[in-house]
Structure 1
Amino acid sequence: MSLIIAYIGKKGCVMTGDKRKIGYFGDKERLDELEKDLYSGNIKSDEEFRKRANDLGISIKITDDANKLKIVGNCVRGEVSTKGTFETKRRRIYGTTNGYQIVELLGSETQSRNAGEKGIIIFGNNYAKQLAQSLIQKKWKASQSLKYMGEVFEDILREVSSKTPTVGSHFDTLIQQPKFNASEAQKHLNVTIDHDIKVLVKFRQDLTEQLVQQSIAIDMANKIIDKGDVGKVVSIDGNMIYVQLNDKTQAMDGNWKQLAGPGQNVLMFTESDNVKLGDKVIIENENLCLKKDKSSLKCDIILCSL
């Protein structure tokens, strides 16, 4: 769901892209039918799109807040992406004065990488690209400034967006114009793109780690003990007592790392002066207490079942 138009030449690079993002949910066969109508140009407006999706029982969410363009080094980067079952496919163009490169990624793995010196590059679905190409032929004046070119690109995207809901009516335009010859441009692009892909790899690694930690947190949260026996008192030192955990209980910290396993001792605090060795410790109504008189206990650990 994108349309990005880029000019790369001796003046620099100017790139304009829409901000549309569309999410789907529904039966795959009906979704395929909806997309066929959408990409063929049979659906002309957001209203028609919503109606057709509703008729097919497909839930859609349309937003116009996606950031598809970015300044990276002395380059402008444009990206369109498609989320698959297991990986996200990304197609990127990096442009600067007298040079560009088009990079295709699966996840963070580079699938292809092609370089060029100048031209007008269009990213988008076939229908939107055909509309844009026709309009460029009518409106384009190569002798104009990059700012003017950007305004022309915005006019083209605005017109295309009125004919297909695959393109939104909100746009970004970015310009970069360092003083590079063709050789310098490719050298800068190589360094910039290599670094940018490394950033993507690190981002995906961090995201994977976050998802793993979230999964662990959800799993452990389901194991938090809210009732039942947890152990017995094995040592008393004033208001501090040590409790030996039973064979079904473990103690975790706030990051869900185990501090003590079954049979090991954990520190708790009491305000009662009637604690005896061997007293049972339980959780009742989500309160940690002594079984014999329900006097409260406190601790800075999370008690979970195995």
Structure 2
Amino acid sequence: MSLIIAYVGKKGCVMASDKRKIGYFGDKQNLNKLEEELYGGKLTNDDDFLKRAEELGISIKITDDANKLKKVGNTIRGEVSTKGTFETRRRRIYGTTMGYQIVELLGSETESRNAGKSGVIVFGNEFAKKMAETLIAREFKPSQSLRYMGDIFKKIIEQVASKTPTVGKKVDILMQQPKFNEAEAQRHLNVTIDHDIKVLVKFRQELTEQIVQQQLAIDMADKIIDKGEIGRVVNIDGNMVFVQLNKDVQAMDGNWKQKAAPGQNVLMFTDSDNVKIGDKVIIENEDLCLKKDKSSLTCDIILCSL
């Protein structure tokens, strides 16, 4: 769903990209049919695309705010990605003066990595790519400045976008012009790409941890006790009350880590002067209190069932 055009040479690197992102939801067989018509160039504008999707019962979400280009060190990174059931497949080009590398990633694992010195590189589906390459052959001149090349690439993307909904008309352009020879360019690319992939690995690890934590929070939220007996008072020290938890009650902190297991003691606070050893502690109407007189208790833990 993207079109990225990059020039790499002795003048530097310039990349242009559309910003389109399309989300699908619906029957797999009908989705395959829609994609076949879309990538085959049969659907030439957004209206035709949306109408055909509706006929096939496919829900479509089109946005034109995706950032597919990024400056990384003295390079520009362009990325197209496809989300699968379990992993995201990424195809990246890193370009700088006198060098580029194309990297294929599945998740954060590198599947291939190829280097080059100079040229015009196009990422996109076959229909968009073929049309772009035809326009580049007609309009691009290597004697032009990077800025002028960027303007040409922008114009080409806009022309392609007028013929296929897979490409959006909003365009980003980035340029880099460090002074590198061929060897320096590849050394810089190697260091930059290695670091960038490590950042991706760390991001994916953190994202996985967040997802696990979110799922844990959802699971634990169902176990929060809002009614019933919690335990009994086993010690009193001023306004501090130590409560032994029942065999089916545990105490968690705000990150859903267990602070006290069943049978262990937890600290609570009260303003009542009528607390006695052995008093039962309950939750009633979502309020923590003594069973005998409903004297209020407070604590900094979350009380959950097992």
Which bin holds the TM-score, normalised by the shorter protein? over 0.9
Query: Superposed, which structure 2 residues align to 1:117-132 within 5 Å?
Result: 117-132=117-132
Distance 1:149 1:19 in 2: 19
Which letter does structure 2 place at the counterpart of 1:246? N
Question: 1:67-93 deviations in whole A, cap 9, x for unaligned?
Answer: 100111111110000011111100000
Match of 1:305 in 2: 305
2:205 counterpart of 1:200: no
Report the counterpart of residue 100 of structure 1 in structure 2. 100
CA distance in structure 2 between the aligned counterparts of 1:171 and 1:9, rounded to whole angstroms: 22
Distance 2:181 2:34 in 1: 46
User: SS state of the match for residue 208, structure 1?
Assistant: helix
| Percent of matched pairs sharing the same residue | 75
When normalised by structure 1's length, the TM-score is: 0.98
2:191 matched to 1:191? yes
Question: Deviations for 1:8-52, whole angstroms, at most 9, x for unmatched residues?
Answer: 111111100011111111111111111111100111111111111
Aligned to 1:284: 284
Letter in 2 for 1:232: R
Which runs of structure 2 are paired with 1:10-29 in the superposition (5 Å)?
10-29=10-29
Distance in 1 (alpha carbons) for counterparts of 2:223 and 2:85: 30
SS of corresponding position for 2:204 = helix
Residue 81 of structure 2 corresponds to which residue in structure 1?
81
- 1:253 positional shift: 0.9
User: 1:131-150 counterparts in 2 under 5 A?
Assistant: 131-150=131-150
- Tell me what 1:162 maps to: 162
Q: Separation in 2 of the partners of 1:136 and 1:99? A: 20
SS in structure 1 opposite 2:262? coil
Deviation of residue 238 (structure 1)? 2.2
Counterpart AA for 1:110: T
Aligned twin of 1:111: 111
CA deviations on 1:135-168 (whole Å, 9 max, x unpaired) are 1122112111000000000000001111111001
**3-state SS in 2 of match to 1:52:** helix
Q: Structure 2 length normalisation: TM-score?
A: 0.98
Comparing 186-195 with 266-275, greater Cα deviation is found at 266-275
Q: Alpha carbon RMSD of aligned pairs, Å?
A: 0.9
Q: In the alignment, what sits opposite 1:9?
A: 9
Per-residue deviation, 1:232: 0.6
Uncovered stretches (5+) of structure 2, i.e. residues with no partner: none
Tell me, in whole angstroms, the C-alpha distance in 1 between the residues paired with 2:59 and 2:292.
Answer: 56
Give the letter aligned to residue 167 of structure 2. Answer: V
- Give 1:266's aligned amino acid: V
Once residues 26 and 119 of structure 1 are traced to their aligned partners in structure 2, the CA distance between those partners, rounded to angstroms, is 40
Q: Which residue of 2 aligns with 1:256?
A: 256
| Structure 2 counterpart of 1:295 | 295
Partner of 1:178: 178
Please list every run of 5 or more consecutive structure 1 residues that lacks an aligned counterpart in the other structure.
Answer: none
Q: Secondary structure at the match of 1:186?
A: helix
Deviation at 1:278, TM superposition (A): 1.1
Distance in 2 (alpha carbons) for counterparts of 1:299 and 1:195: 45
Aligned AA for 1:30? N
* Cα drift, residue 272 of structure 1: 1.9
The DSSP-based 3-state class of the residue aligned with 2:275 is: coil
Q: Which runs of 4+ in 1 moved over 3 A?
A: none
